[in-house]
Amino acid sequence: MPHFDDSALENPQTLATVDPILRRLAEAGARVRRETADSAAPIRALADLPRPRAVIAAGTEARFIRAMLEPVCPVPFVAWPAHGLPGWVGALDLVVVMASEAAPAGLVATVHEAVRRGAQLLIACPESSIIAEHAGSRSTTLLPTATADPLAAAIVTLTALNVLQLGPEVLPEAVADAMDRVAEDCSPYADVSVNPAKDLALALADAQPLVWGGSVLAARASRRVAEALRAASGRAALAAEADELLPIIESTTVRDPFEDPFEDTASADRRPTLLLLDDGNREDLLRADQSRLRAAADRNDVRTCVLSHSRGSDVERYAALLQSGMFASVYLSLGLGRSLPG
């Protein structure tokens, strides 16, 4: 099992090795502000457009858009993962696409098909991208992006959908402020005693994380955080529903208090830690699931860690949970001496 060097989290020299990654995380709020400002004019122009018959979303963060729109959208909504479009899509429908500079061929085909059928198009992508090139039509609204940040592009897209009266109100400045607060709390200059990301990295130093988020958005954040923890540690990290995590927790053997942890490092490395992402949702079913997980963890001597953000809107809380988990993954990789792509 790789040794976790907790001193690396406070050492300026070692922290400097991950400075580009930490800096990009810290600038997330600024990217939201930039994308919002650049798209202000085309978003205002959407106010006079008629309501579409249905909305189809494709590309990066389409499932995040679905999670936000499904509870409130007054027309049918589909997050479409396949190439092309459903056969029924036509001129009365709105196709929403979010893409980076290098969009996959399947997404280009989707945009081309939407133009061919005369559908309304709402595109969030760089102006110089191949997607923008294929999206040109009188029915297309381009939201120009420049930061290669999928979440920032998604927030701009949600703002546009709210103007179209298809989605909830989103306040990009408030989301950016929430991201800034996380960047300040999780700063490399903040000591581990007050830094929730460093504290979580220490808790996961020799663990295999089991990540749970109860609400739809917290569950989405849990999957993204688990993915980042896998890349950071090289270990399994599972994000799943409570009923899927409970058998794993229940099968964990209670530790022998007299066991030498340094002698049996292999079993220590396999021991799970329960990570709860709490976005302040207090629905009875979610609270019951969280209570079941906590009780099972207590019975089986499984450590429980909590990332909690309960301030602001759904999007603000989602962004804060996601950013906190991303900071923790960087500190975890640093303590384990593993490198992450910049």
> Is-contact 75 193, C-beta < 8 A?
no
Q: What is the mean pLDDT of residues 205-233?
A: 95
Q: Write down the pLDDT at residue 253.
A: 87
The Cα–Cα gap between 244 and 169 comes to 34
Phi, psi (deg, nearest 5) at residue 123: -115, 125
The Cα–Cα gap between 18 and 22 comes to 6
Given pLDDT bands bounded at 50, 70 and 90, which one contains residue 267? very low
Q: What is the mean pLDDT of residues 158-168?
A: 96
Q: Write down the pLDDT at residue 266.
A: 46
The Cα–Cα gap between 300 and 251 comes to 8
CATH topology (fold) of 40-144: Rossmann fold (3.40.50)
Whether 38 has a pLDDT exceeding 70, the answer reads yes
Q: What is the mean pLDDT of residues 246-250?
A: 96
For domain 6-23+188-257+264-336, which architecture applies? 3-Layer(aba) Sandwich (3.40)
Q: Write down the pLDDT at residue 225.
A: 98
Torsion, Cα 267 336 197 157, to 10 degrees, reads -110
pTM of the model: 0.92
**Sign, CA torsion 77/78/79/84:** negative
Residues, the chain, total?
Answer: 342
Q: Write down the pLDDT at residue 262.
A: 55
The Cα–Cα gap between 133 and 115 comes to 11
The Cα–Cα gap between 247 and 261 comes to 24
How many percent of the chain have pLDDT more than 90?
80
Q: What is the mean pLDDT of residues 116-131?
A: 93
> Is-contact 221 67, C-beta < 8 A?
no
> Is-contact 97 110, C-beta < 8 A?
yes
Whether 130 has a pLDDT exceeding 80, the answer reads yes
Which residue type occupies 89?
A: V
The Cα–Cα gap between 12 and 294 comes to 36
Whether 120 has a pLDDT exceeding 60, the answer reads yes
Domain with CATH 3.40.50.10490 in the chain: 6-23+188-257+264-336, 40-144
Looking at every residue in the chain, the average pLDDT score rounds to: 92
SS3 169: coil
Beta-bridge partners for 78:
56
The Cα–Cα gap between 53 and 293 comes to 42
Q: What is the mean pLDDT of residues 240-258?
A: 88
The Cα–Cα gap between 273 and 256 comes to 17
Given pLDDT bands bounded at 50, 70 and 90, which one contains residue 200? very high
DSSP H helices in 165-274: 172-185, 196-203, 216-233, 242-250, 265-269
Q: Write down the pLDDT at residue 230.
A: 96
> Is-contact 99 129, C-beta < 8 A?
yes
Q: Write down the pLDDT at residue 325.
A: 98
Q: Between the CA of residue 188 and those of 51, 330, 334, what are the distances in Å?
A: 47, 10, 11
CA angle 236–193–258, rounded 5-degree value: 60
Note the pLDDT tens digit of each residue in 59-89: 888 989 999 998 999 999 998 876 789 999 9
How many percent of the chain have pLDDT more than 70?
94
